[in-house]
Structure formats: C-alpha cells, structure tokens
C-alpha cells in the first residue's frame, strides 16, 4: 500500500531495549492532498530513520504495511514504513478498468435496435 503526501510533523524519537536487543522508532505525520486533506501517522523503525532522513515539508510516497495488535482488550494499528521515495506528490495511478469503460455517447439511435449496452 502507498501513502502520498507531505510531511507536516515529526515526533520525537523513541528507543528502548527488549529481549531481542535495542530498538528505536520515530513517527511522522503525513498530510494527504485532496479537497478534504487527511493526516496519517506513520512509523519508521531502526536504521531506516537515518536512511530515509525525512524533514518537515518533504513530499513523499511511502510504501507501508498495516498491522493491528490487541493489548488489554483494545486494538492498536501501526502504519509501518518500509520504503520512501521523496519528490513531488503524484496522483494515484488510474486503474486499467476505469480506462476500458466505453463512452455512452458511442451508441447510435439509428440502428432501430435497443440502444442500451446491456
């Protein structure tokens, strides 16, 4: 899944240690463009924080995985980033099926047959 938008806020880095070793993460708030812009909190883990080096104002296309977990009867969802492309925001790709729908004006009334396409 991809999220396209602009980084509007960077949260402080969090770190700690577990049975698997030390860990660190940083959350980024990305605003998606549109008539009603939406904000998404994405998390980047480990060395990817330094590798992606995101700053406020960066236009990004982030490849993410969604993961939910339960804790004490409540569910929490993470948007985990695994790849980031910086640059101008792009519009989502148009699906192939949307292009293959014929224009309704191509039907002719002169045939005398039923002009409905179904």
- 12 in a structural domain: yes
pLDDT at 95: 46
pLDDT at 116: 60
- 34 in a structural domain: yes
Alpha-carbon distance 63 to 99, whole Å? 25
pLDDT at 75: 96
| Mean of pLDDT values over 26-55 | 95
| Mean of pLDDT values over 25-34 | 96
- 46 in a structural domain: yes
Q: Write a three-state SS string for 78-118.
A: EEEEEEEEECCCCCCCCCHHHHCCCCHHHCCCCCCCCCCCC
Phi, psi torsion values for 49, nearest 5 degrees: -60, -50
- Total structural domains in the chain? 1
pLDDT at 80: 96
- 74 in a structural domain: yes
CATH code: domain of residue 79: 2.40.50.140
Q: Which residue has the higher pLDDT, 34 or 112?
A: 34
Residue 77: helix, strand or coil by DSSP? strand
Q: Write a three-state SS string for 9-22.
A: EECCCEEEEECCEE
- 111 in a structural domain: no
pLDDT at 87: 82
pTM assigned to the model: 0.70
- 56 in a structural domain: yes
Alpha carbon separation from 93 to 56, 74, 101 (Å, rounded): 25, 35, 16
Q: What is the pLDDT of residues 79-113, one digit of tens each?
A: 999 999 998 555 555 444 455 555 555 555 565 55
pLDDT at 96: 47
Residue 76 structural domain: 2-88
- 118 in a structural domain: no
- 62 in a structural domain: yes
């Amino acid at each position: 899944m991809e999220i396209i938008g602009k980084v509007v806020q960077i949260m402080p880095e969090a770190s700690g240690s577990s049975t698997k070793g030390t860990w660190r993460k940083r959350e980024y708030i990305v605003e998606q463009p549109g008539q009603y812009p939406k904000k998404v909190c994405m998390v980047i883990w480990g060395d990817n924080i330094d590798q992606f080096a995101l700053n406020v104002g960066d236009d990004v296309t982030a490849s993410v995985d969604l993961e939910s977990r339960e804790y004490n009867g409540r569910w929490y969802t993470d948007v985990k980033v695994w790849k980031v492309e910086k640059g101008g925001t792009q519009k989502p790709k148009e699906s192939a099926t949307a292009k293959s729908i014929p224009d309704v004006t191509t039907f002719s009334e002169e045939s005398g047959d039923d002009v409905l396409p179904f």
